[in-house]
């Protein structure tokens, strides 16, 4: 059997037993997925998923990057080339390559997610390898043709209470509209992601801002009209369930400019004459403007900083974005968040959730900041740290200073739909292991641990995201 029922629990029998008991009370709780990147079209159209390779390999940048790191060309994994040259299109061939190299994933979270999906979503036992590649492929392919493996059916079966996708501010939200008008009751909501109309360096910025104007009937050539358009569009997103906005900036920099300064920068940004430094200043200031809007409309503000996207520009030219070449960078939060926090951070009506890709900031910067500012909460371990050791270190590095209640439960943040239950399961197991260790070393009482386990698995996410 690929999955140990006691996986990720402490090794010591006493702590393990308590972890098991804690886990038993949270393992079947509904899944709150307040931040992620699944495609709303799946749930709107409810078409069958394509073949196993296109479900598990080609779209998963965790899988792609590991295979590529050992010299496997991305083309042979089915990744399309920008220049249109052909990539492998035979799902079975891609799958065999994946299976043959599955040992590369030993002790990685990717393997745990995939193994969990095999077992829990597709009812497969055993271990994927060159020998079992075809059997696994055939079984999964067979499932994918059945109705019960369509997106909505899987969603229901997975016990998802609510799932948020993320859409650009200028996305028409047609798939969300389809869902809303359908008879399906699954709660799939959107989140407001305005990078394309907030970042002067975003491709097509001024055109995007013009589109935002058209969509909202505001004059986005003026600073006031631009702000009104955001307010208007946020309200529109709220009609599709949005409770949060999301911001993926290179750094955590915030600014709090005077309105005339901001207006002048906006005007330069529209003309495309911002320097790199001015563009950064403008992005930083817009976070503060978004926080101000949040005070009015209640959207939770999420900041995802610190990724250097497309580290290899030559690979980007060949294959485009999201193929595994985004690399974390050293990130500062203390000075960077200061302008926003000084302006609105002590207002308890506001919730700002900050994520990190630089673990060194957890004990030094983020826990101390979240442990004093009422508006600031710590997002769960993100991306490269969404892993058993990463999650454990997150708790060990934040709890003593920020406690549990300045954190917000778990986010799966994934495009890999099948991995959602396995990611939440992993987080629940690690949290239960952490709590059992605290009880075992006399740092938490037994009954407190059960309460906290429930909060970490369910309550905190629901509360923080106002769901």
**Which 107-166 residues touch a copy of itself, going by CB under 8 A?**
107-109, 112, 127
Residue 295 as a binder of a copy of itself (CB under 8 A): the answer is no
Residues within window 223-282 making contact with a copy of itself, judged by CB under 8 A: none
Residue 284 as a binder of a copy of itself (CB under 8 A): the answer is no
Applying CB under 8 A, which part among 24-32, 131-139, 166-174, 448-456 lies near a copy of itself?
Answer: 448-456
* Minimum distance, C-beta of residue 100 to a copy of itself, in the bound complex (Å): 13
6, 261, 297, 322: residue in contact with a copy of itself (rule CB under 8 A): 6
328, 459, 462, 463: residue in contact with a copy of itself (rule CB under 8 A): 328
For a copy of itself, which is the closer residue by CB, 221 or 401? Answer: 401
For a copy of itself, which is the closer residue by CB, 156 or 342? Answer: 342
For a copy of itself, which is the closer residue by CB, 193 or 249? Answer: 249
Residues within window 49-108 making contact with a copy of itself, judged by CB under 8 A: 65-66, 68-71, 103-108
CB distance 122 to 88 below 8 Å? no
166, 281, 406, 422: residue in contact with a copy of itself (rule CB under 8 A): 406
CB distance 406 to 352 below 8 Å? no
* Minimum distance, C-beta of residue 358 to a copy of itself, in the bound complex (Å): 5
> Residues touching a copy of itself: how many (CB under 8 A)?
91
Residues within window 341-380 making contact with a copy of itself, judged by CB under 8 A: 341-342, 345-346, 348, 357-360, 363-365, 367-374, 376
For a copy of itself, which is the closer residue by CB, 125 or 147? Answer: 125
261, 405, 415, 463: residue in contact with a copy of itself (rule CB under 8 A): 405
């Amino acid at each position: 059997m690929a999955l140990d029922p006691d996986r990720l629990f402490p090794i010591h029998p006493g702590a393990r037993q308590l972890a098991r008991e804690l886990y038993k009370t949270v393992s079947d709780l509904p899944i709150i997925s307040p931040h992620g990147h699944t495609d709303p079209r799946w749930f709107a159209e409810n078409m069958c998923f394509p073949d196993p390779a296109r479900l598990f390999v080609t779209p998963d940048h965790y899988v792609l990057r590991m295979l590529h790191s050992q010299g496997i060309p991305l083309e042979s994994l089915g990744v399309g080339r920008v220049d249109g040259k052909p990539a492998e299109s035979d799902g079975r061939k891609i799958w065999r390559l994946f299976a043959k190299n599955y040992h590369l994933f030993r002790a990685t979270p990717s393997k745990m997610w995939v193994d969990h999906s095999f077992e829990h979503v597709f009812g497969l036992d055993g271990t994927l390898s060159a020998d079992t590649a075809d059997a696994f492929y055939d079984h999964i392919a067979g499932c994918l043709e059945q109705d019960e493996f369509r997106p909505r059916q899987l969603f229901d079966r997975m016990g998802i209470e609510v799932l948020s996708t993320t859409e650009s501010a200028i996305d028409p939200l047609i798939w969300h509209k389809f869902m809303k008008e359908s008879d399906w009751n699954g709660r799939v909501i959107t989140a407001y992601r305005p990078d394309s109309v907030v970042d002067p360096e975003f491709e097509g910025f001024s055109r995007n801002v013009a589109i935002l104007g058209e969509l909202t009937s505001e004059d986005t050539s003026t600073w006031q009209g631009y702000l009104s358009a955001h307010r208007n569009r946020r309200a529109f997103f709220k009609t599709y369930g949005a409770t949060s906005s999301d911001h993926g900036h290179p750094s955590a920099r915030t600014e709090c400019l005077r309105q005339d300064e901001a207006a002048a920068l906006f005007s330069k940004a529209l003309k495309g004459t911002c320097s790199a430094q001015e563009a950064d200043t403008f992005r930083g200031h817009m976070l503060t403007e978004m926080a101000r809007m949040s005070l009015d409309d209640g959207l939770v503000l999420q900041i995802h900083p610190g990724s250097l996207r497309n580290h290899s520009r030559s690979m980007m030219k060949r294959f485009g974005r999201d193929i595994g070449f985004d690399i974390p960078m050293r990130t500062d939060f203390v000075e960077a968040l200061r302008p926003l926090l000084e302006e609105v951070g002590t207002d308890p009506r506001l919730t700002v959730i900050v994520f990190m890709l630089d673990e060194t900031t957890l004990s030094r910067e983020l826990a101390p900041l979240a442990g004093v500012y009422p508006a600031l909460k710590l997002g769960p371990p993100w991306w490269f740290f969404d892993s058993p050791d990463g999650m454990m270190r997150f708790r060990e590095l934040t709890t003593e200073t920020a406690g549990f209640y300045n954190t917000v439960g778990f986010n799966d943040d994934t495009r890999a739909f099948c991995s959602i239950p396995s990611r939440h399961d992993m987080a629940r197991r690690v949290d239960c292991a952490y709590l059992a260790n605290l009880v075992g070393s006399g740092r938490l009482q037994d009954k407190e641990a059960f309460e906290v386990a429930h909060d970490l698995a369910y309550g905190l996410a629901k509360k923080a995201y106002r769901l």
